[in-house]
Amino acid sequence: MLRQQLTEHPGVELIDGVSSAVLEFWQGDWHRQIVDQSADDAPFGLIELMDNNPLVCADRVRVPKPSATLALVALGPILRAGIVRESPALIASFPVADAEVNEALGTLGWDLGAAITSGDVDLGSVRGLNAIASIHTPAKLSDLDDIYEEAYGRSFFVRRDEDSEWFPPIAEGKPHALFRLRVTPGEEVSLLTIQTLADIHGKLGTGQIIHTLNVMAGFEETLGVA
């Protein structure tokens, strides 16, 4: 899948080679890599929540795996806003390595981890994750919309969907992750549920890798992403 999409990418010329990286490429004499394993010198996180400058300058960038990607999509904006009160609960449709998720949440300064429940539900190529977070009730509930809009409002690959029937086909074959919000308001403390869906060949796989390549190389973010 990755090689096929790179073949169609107008900014890429493929050459033969073997590498342990997810993607290895050269810009002139500059050797660069995208990896999905721990690398101390590699910027790591969800592109939509990161500063692009380190990515443009990095020799190596690390992309989060599917569970970490969905956890960051769901919780990243409210963690960054500092309104999460305690460890959130995550319910995934697929097996999840807790350490991967907690490391990813740590990129946003969150060191309390999450309580994670993993399932093994057949959703085809789609994976789902629901996050439930206890939050400090904002002055206006619409402030929650603003927090997520600030994070993802201009994003090509993370989109809010409050209207579709929440079934795997809405994410199947798509390059973007989808999320929706449900809030149970309280006077001081509210409960926020964030539902996420994405395809393992899109935002959870090839799509995210090519998006990362595009940012690193200074291409248009959507170039070569189906």
Average pLDDT of 209-215? 95
pLDDT band, residue 2 (cuts 50/70/90): confident
How high is the pLDDT of residue 13? 64
How high is the pLDDT of residue 19? 58
| Pairing label, strands 60-62, 23-27 | unpaired
66-199 has which fold? Dihydrodipicolinate Reductase; domain 2 (3.30.360)
Other CB atoms within 10 A of residue 5 CB: 18
Q: What is the DSSP letter of 34?
A: E
C-alpha span between 223 and 210 (Å, rounded): 8
Residue 18 pLDDT exceeds 60: no
Mean residue pLDDT across the chain = 93
Residue 178 pLDDT exceeds 90: yes
DSSP annotation string for 124-153: TTEEEEEEEEEEEPPSSTHHHHHHHHHHHT
How high is the pLDDT of residue 16? 64
The residues of the chain that CATH labels 3.30.360.10 are 66-199
State the pTM of this model: 0.93
Residue 139 pLDDT exceeds 60: yes
pLDDT digits (tens, 9 = 90+) for 76-113: 999 999 999 999 999 999 999 999 999 999 999 999 99
CA 9 → CA 52, 56, 85, 207, 221, distances in Å?
21, 19, 44, 12, 12
194-226 residues labelled b (16+ CB within 10 A) or e (exposed): bbbbbbbbbbbbbbbbbbbbbbbbebeeeebbe
pLDDT band, residue 124 (cuts 50/70/90): very high
